[in-house]
Amino acid sequence: MSVLADEPGNPAHAIFERFLRAGECREVLGCFVELCQQLGLQGSGLQLYHGLKAALNYWNAKALWSKLDKKAGHKDYDQGTAC
C-alpha cells in the first residue's frame, strides 16, 4: 500500500531525512529502497525520478529536485538528455 507524501506525519518524510543524513553508501541505498517501497514506486532512470518527484511533496525534497533539475539542464548534460 502506498502512502501519499503530503499527509501529515508521513513516514516517507522521515525516511527521506534519513536518506539525506546517511553517511555510508549502504545506508543511502537502504534508505532509497525503503523510500521507493513506502511510496509504491518501481522502475529506474528518469521514470523513477519523475515518479519520486511527483510522490514526495516535501519541502526538503523539493529543494533537492530543484538542484537536480538545474544541474540536468546544464549544457554539459544536453539539457537533461545525456543522463
Burial class (CB in 10 A: 0-12, 13-18, 19+), 34: middle
Whole-number pLDDT of residue 83: 60
Cell numbers 544536453 correspond to 78
One-letter amino acid identity for 51?
G
Task: Record the pTM.
Answer: 0.76
Beta-strand ranges (E) seen in the chain are none
SS3 41: coil
Sign of the four-CA dihedral 14, 41, 55, 21: positive
pLDDT, tens digit, for every residue of 14-72?
999 999 999 999 999 999 999 999 999 999 888 899 999 999 989 999 999 999 888 88
